[in-house]
Amino acid sequence: MKRWIGFMLHLAMIVVLTSFGTYTVMKKVDVEIPESLKVSTNLEFFAPQDSIALIDEDEVTPPFLGKAFNGFKEALAFKESQGKYHRVNTLGYLGKYQFGSSTLHLMGVYDMEDFLENPELQEKAFEANIARNKWILRRDIKRFNGKTIGGIKVTESGILAAAHLAGAGNVKKYLRSYGQNDVTDAYGSSISYYMKKFEGYDISNIKQQKNAKV
């Protein structure tokens, strides 16, 4: 009798363990991941800390510092280099405001290495370039300020931002052709884009100057 009871208990344990194991296996086989939860792309995004090559700067919001001159220059600097004084792009443009060496020569700057290492000099160069472009474009600013070209309101700050991008001569052509002669740089930014992006800033504190130097 004792042997029979022991046999039955042993058999019952085998049945229970076998059933549990079968249940576990069945669960593993039958479970499926819904299509909506499956990951089909690599979610990791790697970007060099000091590079904006993989980032569209228009997806990054620059700090808003108002509509006076300080807000204008910082917004433009953010568009040009994300505000980094030591930036040199693939075409050799330098610094926070991405100046070309030929433009810097016009303002009396000839040592490019010193320029990159000197934030104060870069700020002075930016102000001098604004003053110089104001003088070159003085008649066009007076003539077109407040008008609309291609759906874009023309303002003094927009004109001068576009001159920083493409040069005062190309901005003259753009305005006098009423937007027909639009110039785009190597990175896809156009005169019309800068005219719209930087419209409406008050930069009256920078006076026009024919041969502005730093």
What pLDDT, on a 0 to 100 scale, did the predictor assign at position 19?
53
Q: How many CB atoms lie within 10 A of CB 123?
A: 17
**Distance from the Cα of residue 174 to its chain's centroid:** 24
Task: Using CB atoms within 10 Å of the CB of residue 164, give its burial: 0 to 12 exposed, 13 to 18 middle, 19+ buried.
Answer: buried
- In this prediction, residue 26 carries a pLDDT of 44
Alpha-carbon distance of 49 to 53, in angstroms, equals 11
Report the pLDDT value the prediction gives residue 30, as an integer from 0 to 100: 56
Cβ–Cβ under 8 Å, residues 126 and 81: no
∠ CA 197-202-205, rounded to 5°? 135
Q: Which residue is it, tokens 């229970």?
A: 16
Instruction: Write out the chain's pLDDT in tens, 214 residues.
Output: 555 555 666 666 665 555 545 444 444 455 565 555 454 444 333 333 333 333 444 545 566 789 999 999 999 999 999 999 999 999 999 999 999 999 999 999 999 999 999 999 999 999 999 999 999 999 999 999 999 999 999 999 999 999 999 999 999 999 999 999 999 999 999 999 999 999 999 999 999 999 999 9
Rounded-to-integer distance, Cα 73 and Cα 27, Å:
64
Report pLDDT for 65.
80
Tell how many helices (H) and how many strands (E) occur in the chain: 9, 2
Type of residue found at 107:
M
Going by C-alpha positions, the residue among 95, 99, 76 that lies closest to residue 84 is 95
Q: pLDDT value at position 135?
A: 98
Please say whether the beta carbons of 160 and 130 come within 8 A: yes
- Number of C-beta neighbours around residue 23 at 10 A: 10
**Confidence (pLDDT) at 25:** 44
| Cα–Cα distance measured from residue 134 to residue 210, given in angstroms and rounded to the nearest whole number | 8
Residues 6 or more apart in contact with residue 150 via CB below 8 angstroms: 178, 179, 192
Residue ranges of domains in the chain? 2-28, 66-197
What is the predicted pLDDT for the residue at 22? Answer: 45
- The pLDDT score that the predictor gives to residue 64 is 73
